[in-house]
Amino acid sequence: YQTIKKAREVGQVNPSIRKDINKVVDFIDIEDITEKASLCRCWRSKNWPYCDGAHGAHNKATGDNTGPVVVRHKEN
């Protein structure tokens, strides 16, 4: 908890994901997305880089309005 609190104090958007590396970069092959993929933008997901709904608690606690980006196949 102290780490998350300190991260917020200095303005970091990422409180806990892979803090042992300099930059969090993820690659997702488009071929591996079957119907759609919801990608986290709140940095609170425990299933990073995918959204697990944690943005709801974050938004409620902070008054923020974050949500995922949904990548999907275009419907014909």
Catalytic residues: 23
Question: Which residue, 36 or 75, has its beta carbon nearer to ligand FES?
Answer: 36
Question: Which residue, 15 or 53, has its beta carbon nearer to ligand FES?
Answer: 53
- Residue 14 burial (10 A CB sphere; 0-12, 13-18, 19+): middle
40 binding ligand FES? (CB under 6 A): yes
- Asked if 65 and 59 count as a contact pair (C-beta separation under 8 A), the reply is yes
Which of 7, 17, 37, 54: binder of ligand FES (CB under 6 A)?
A: 54
Residue 28: half-sphere exposure toward Cβ, Cα within 13 Å: 15
Stretch that binds ligand FES, among 6-14, 18-26, 29-37, 49-57 (CB under 6 A): 49-57
d(CA 15, CA 5): 8
55 binding ligand FES? (CB under 6 A): yes
